[in-house]
Chain A
Amino acid sequence: MKTFADIGRHASRHLWAVLATVFLVAGCGGGSSGSSSSSTSTGSTGSGTTTTPTTTTPATGSDTNVVAITLDSGPAGVSSRLANIPYVSVTVCPPGSTSGCQVIDHVIVDTGSYGLRLVASVLNNLSSLPLQQNVGGSPYAECAQFVSGYTWGSVRTADLTVGGLTASSLPLQVIADPSFSSVPSSCSSTGTNQGTVSALGGNGILGVGSFLQDCGSACASQAIAGTYYACTINTFCSSSAIPLAQQVANPVARLPSDNNGVLVKLPAVATGGASGVTGSLIFGIGTRSNNALGTATVYGIGSTTGYFTTVYNARSYSRAFLDSGSNFYFFNDSTLTACTGSTSGFYCPAATRSLTAQIQGTNSATGTVNFSIANATSTFNANPNANAFSDIGATSSDTSSFDWGLPFFFGRSVFTALEGASTPGGTGPYVAF
């Protein structure tokens, strides 16, 4: 039984505040009006101006199902130091149009969420993206939820091009849409408003996890508090059901090909951290020579939860999952030395620990994962220019969740199959590595 000693008077500045105190930070940067950034290492040609798409999102070589992932210090306008966030660039066009397009950089690749979300302030021509409306002509808005907060915004449609593939008329969320500035209390009561580039650490989120929509059939059959809303002109939004086809959709499922899942390939990152790390987001599983399962093992995941089981230190963690949108490993191990001070919440073993866990899929597949946990404080301090770390862990405090965040993806090919999708490894949902 845990003691209830005062774990920290300064808890509100604990945990992830390491990113504010260990690295240089000057508070939230002002929102930038454009999306362009010249600081990426991929040679992105995003210009932030509307243009015909003679320049598209960076593909790798001639493979149209591939887009480059970069880990860097984050988008323009965010002055706090960010780490372990995988970014891609995407091209957004009005539906059916080849003019008025815009390249958006620093969109977060997130296998733990579903759907494209873009912060309104980075869009140059928001009004060119039609609002998603109900049969009565009322526009839909949405409260998308994350563990500590929400993003509130309109539902619009756009043609999304990533790599060389285009999802047509894709419903997406425009976060903090100025035409929908009033957040309903049923939304704001679920956590804190994360609807800024600073709060997200990116200009948007590309949710490519296993589910096809961000809510699903429950939201199609009834109005559920804190999810979707139908709005009168401008501001008054009330809870509403919304048909599946109109919900914010997983872009992968809407691609014309290579649409049964994704493969995230990132290089190994040595202890101590690195900068300039690049990899690939590849669409499709077993659809081309660049996305074959090869020797990867398929692990089934829960059809409603996306969870598998992790066994670690003789304890079974029933809410385990892979998540490229989580910066680090998050799990509870009271035998690992906890950091104190500004890195409180992270693990600070005196020497790097080599650990082992077993992953058990819902299909009874099992596999062993070896991973390392280094001293977070000394690692962050020793390499202040790094924005990729492979051996950093933090507590999740509870006894059943095990969040295999981005460090898991380094040095691996990690596949995520969509629910109901047919693949050479079986029908999704599953993860494979």
Chain B
Amino acid sequence: MKNARRHPAGLLLALTLSSPAMAALGSSAGSVDTDRQQMHASALRSTSGGTYTVHEYTLDSGTVVREYAQSSGMVFAVSWEGPVMPNLQQLLGSEHFTTFTAAARSRGRSGGPMVLQQSGLVVRSTGHMRAFAGQAYLPGQLPQGVSIEDIR
């Protein structure tokens, strides 16, 4: 696996086409970019800052998915933006996906964004048909200096 060059401050664009670590939220990065392939997505683009790496790919629908990984490889946040929802079960992992859908079922009908805030999982799903955007992260796993506003 190629290592992205790192800079002490800011993000440096580092194109890498080999198989970097991809994983569901909370999982450690593996040696295969399972998520990307499962979702039939574009080649990966990885961007690395001081404390985390962002792996970005584009689905065939045009939806952009980002996975934020600690230096250890563990994915602490994911985000999506585009016309079609991504495979959330793949992206959140089965356990977090179950939590998300249970919360969605219990909340009743509001038509607005879905916000799930628990100590172990935060999921925000916003937008409307043909224009979705969302983020999910593990509150206890954000690297130092990373704010939730960095997760786009």
Give A8-21 as 1s and 0s: 1 = Cβ < 8 Å from B's Cβ atoms: 11011111111110
A192-B111 in contact (CB<8A): no
B124-A398 in contact (CB<8A): yes
Give A399-413 as 1s and 0s: 1 = Cβ < 8 Å from B's Cβ atoms: 111010100000000
Chain A residues lying within 8 Å of B65, measured Cβ to Cβ, are none
- Which of A4, A216, A218, A328 lies in contact with B112, CB distance below 8 A? A328
> B150 — nearest CB in chain A belongs to which residue?
A1
A226 to chain B, nearest CB (A): 6
- Which of B85, B106, B113 lies in contact with A403, CB distance below 8 A? B113
A36 to chain B, nearest CB (A): 21
Residues of A within 8 A of B (CB): 1-2, 4-9, 11-20, 80, 82, 85, 110, 112-114, 144-150, 185-186, 188-192, 199-201, 207, 209, 211, 214-216, 218, 222, 224-227, 302, 304-307, 319, 321, 323, 325-328, 330, 345, 394-401, 403, 405
Chain B residues lying within 8 Å of A149, measured Cβ to Cβ, are 101, 104
Closest 8 CB pairs of A and B: A148-B114, A201-B109, A189-B89, A16-B107, A4-B139, A148-B104, A112-B128, A401-B126
For the complex, is B10 an interface residue (Cβ under 8 Å from A)? no
Give B118-152 as 1s and 0s: 1 = Cβ < 8 Å from A's Cβ atoms: 11001011111111111100011010000111001
Please, how many angstroms separate the alpha-carbon atoms of A326 and B110 in the complex?
6
Please, how many angstroms separate the alpha-carbon atoms of A226 and B62 in the complex?
13
Q: A147-B113, A227-B61, A398-B124 are in contact. Are A13 and B131 (CB under 8 A)?
A: no
B60-A225 in contact (CB<8A): yes
Chain B residues lying within 8 Å of A147, measured Cβ to Cβ, are 112-114, 125-128, 132, 134
Chain B residues lying within 8 Å of A328, measured Cβ to Cβ, are 110, 112
Chain B CB within 10 A, most for which of A19, A199, A226, A304: A226
- Which of B97, B105, B112, B128 lies in contact with A209, CB distance below 8 A? B128
30 A-B residue pairs with Cβ-Cβ distance under 8 Å, sorted by A, are A7-B119, A8-B118, A11-B118, A13-B106, A14-B107, A15-B107, A16-B110, A17-B107, A18-B108, A85-B111, A144-B129, A146-B129, A147-B113, A188-B89, A189-B97, A190-B87, A214-B130, A218-B84, A225-B39, A225-B87, A226-B84, A226-B87, A227-B61, A302-B131, A307-B131, A319-B131, A321-B131, A323-B112, A397-B124, A401-B127
Give B90-108 as 1s and 0s: 1 = Cβ < 8 Å from A's Cβ atoms: 1000000101111111111
Please, how many angstroms separate the alpha-carbon atoms of A114 and B133 in the complex?
18
Chain A residues lying within 8 Å of B7, measured Cβ to Cβ, are none
Please, how many angstroms separate the alpha-carbon atoms of A4 and B144 in the complex?
13
A112-B129 in contact (CB<8A): yes
B108-A209 in contact (CB<8A): no
> B145 — nearest CB in chain A belongs to which residue?
A1
> A307 — nearest CB in chain B belongs to which residue?
B131
Q: A4-B139, A16-B107, A400-B133 are in contact. Are A191 and B128 (CB under 8 A)?
A: no
B149 to chain A, nearest CB (A): 6
A331 to chain B, nearest CB (A): 9
B112-A403 in contact (CB<8A): yes
Chain B CB within 10 A, most for which of A114, A394, A395, A397: A397
A17-B106 in contact (CB<8A): yes
Please, how many angstroms separate the alpha-carbon atoms of A224 and B140 in the complex?
35
Q: A144-B129, A218-B62 are in contact. Are A82 and B104 (CB under 8 A)?
A: no
> B141 — nearest CB in chain A belongs to which residue?
A4
- Which of A11, A82, A148 lies in contact with B117, CB distance below 8 A? A11
> A223 — nearest CB in chain B belongs to which residue?
B60
For the complex, is B83 an interface residue (Cβ under 8 Å from A)? yes
A305-B130 in contact (CB<8A): yes
B101 to chain A, nearest CB (A): 4
A189-B130 in contact (CB<8A): no
> A5 — nearest CB in chain B belongs to which residue?
B119
Please, how many angstroms separate the alpha-carbon atoms of A201 and B110 in the complex?
9
> A200 — nearest CB in chain B belongs to which residue?
B109
A7-B118 in contact (CB<8A): yes
Chain A residues lying within 8 Å of B12, measured Cβ to Cβ, are none
A325-B111 in contact (CB<8A): yes
A189-B90 in contact (CB<8A): yes
> A4 — nearest CB in chain B belongs to which residue?
B139
